[in-house]
Structure 1
Amino acid sequence: MTRLISKPFILIISVFFLLLLNSCASKENSNCPEGAICNDELQTTDTGLKYIHHIHYPKTRKPKYNEILTMHYLLLGDNGDTIANTYKLNEPIGQPLLGPAYKGSIEEGLRMMNVGDSATFYVTMDSIKDENLPFPPTMRKSIKEIYYVMKLYNTQSKAAFDIDEEARLKKRTQAQVAIQDKKIKEYLKQSSLFDSTKRHPTGLYYKIIKNGKGMPAQLGDSVSFTYKTSLLPKGLFVDESKKGQPIGFVVGKTNVLSAWQIAFTQLANKGAKISLFSPSHLAFGNKKFQNLPAFSMLHFEIEVVDIIRKNEMK
């Protein structure tokens, strides 16, 4: 999934990637890709922006302002610090190309690139406004110049990017089903829970801790329950019923997590205690929720306090 962000993502990595891009040699280099122009010369624009256009494809598309650029980049300080590295995200990020904030800005550099290009841009700290810095102002004292090492994969309108992003997200979500099923199995085996846990056809793993009485809730029934949530596989606490007090919902009238819907209508009856080991597609899916990252696998400990049948409700 390509991530759309508005500010660089702060990470730590070595300067290996800068050396790698700078290894693209001059025009005579036999390693230069077909259809590209390779150059290792430091150049300067009329506005004072210094750059090296390592690899340039003159016939590919050039980005326009307000388009979404799909790219990877390293953000390095001249003191050797790595400020940001999108390669740690495993996939390119999507970032809007805004108009230049000042002469010689990085936006001017991005506008010079074509799809497929690699380049390094040199921007002095003095020319950057505080609000545009992706790191604390205190770092200004140790850095005089910033190196933007860029690789541009695509440029497109916001509408086109969103369509492509939806397709990528769908593909990744489908792939996560098998990946997470394996991870949950491994967690259960390592925790000595696998033999006592069952798997629902949807991929939800569950363990009945205490049997209740009667039938699970049906459409229109009101369910009250307590819960505790933790993040798999590390077991980090996420959330629980406030002060241990039960919460409730009416089946079919309130949107709840798919894992909960399955548990209350198929697996757990009044008085039952159940543990759920849920893959992300039965929880919050590919969306972030509060402090939970996208594609979070969750462990729910639930006790069904009461079930009021539809025909008993006033």
Structure 2
Amino acid sequence: MRFSSRSAQQLALAAGLLGFASLTACNKDGGDYAKTKSGIEYKIFKKVGNGYERREIGPDGDPTYKDRVGKFLLGNMRYTTGKDSVLQNTRRDVGLPVPLPLQELKQKGAPDEALSLLQPGDSGVFRFQVDSLIKPKSGQPVPPFLRRGGNVVMMYVATTPKLITQEEAQAMQPELQKRAMAAQMKQRMASPEYAKQMQEQKDAQAKAMAAPEVVAQLKSDDAVLQDYIKKNNLTVKKTPSGIYYQVLKAGTGATPKAGQTVSVNYNGTLLSGKQFDSSEKTGKPIEFPIGQGAVIPGWDEGIALLNKGTRAILLIPSPLAYGARGAGADIPANAPLKFEVELVDVQ
């Protein structure tokens, strides 16, 4: 959903795929809503000991807000419809407090004004009429699910006692984005459409691997790989698909599951020893969701065999690498490949 103010849009983005029982209890037990001049209904609570007490705010807002402009609250947020259907929830989907921007109020009645009422450590419940967030003149229709949800959007916020700077907020973004992407992947994997897509992908790969020319290439590559293994005195295991692997240093972490994002250091060479790629070129591990077709099939299968922290050699027949098409000028057609890999992290 898109709010009418740009800062409100930024707020929703910062929160990721946006609860918490304490605020729900406050909402039920905190008495009537107060109301800003712009029409936001709210209840603000400050923490006292192990509980919360209602904090009153004057009709002109919090006079101390000017001292917080340009900084960020840290907080967990939840948006729901008026009938409690969850729209966004940072605690569930990001797992840590997110930076909430405190900006000059150029437009009243939106979530950025609601945040201006909160002091660090406060919690709040805010109720917006949908028509005040999505202006009729904007040309954007109100989504039917919001109409059905009571034409109301609820915003619950629980903040920490700490304000942070813009630099500190920016430093948090890589971790927040990583967590949000993991949550999106988890949600996607739970859908029937995903299961169908993955099955179709497996069926297509199995059909391709059963083609006579591919079967013949696998047999030819296997002879080449066995000769390489013998000449280099490797101690390997073989998977049913034809991948050979040798663990150089065993890790102690978990093995990755489909959909999890892994970080891998690697050095890729032809069997001749000619390097064609390496993570050293970028100075950091490559990251990708495993089992999603984001890398060659030999990596999706081979990396999934390793524990976090493991260093290993993967010998991959060409049909599970770049096949008859090769890759650029460095990887010829039908080339078996060798990778030295290290599974650095599993997220």
Length-normalised TM-score, structure 1: 0.49
Higher share in helix = 2
Length-normalised TM-score, structure 2: 0.45
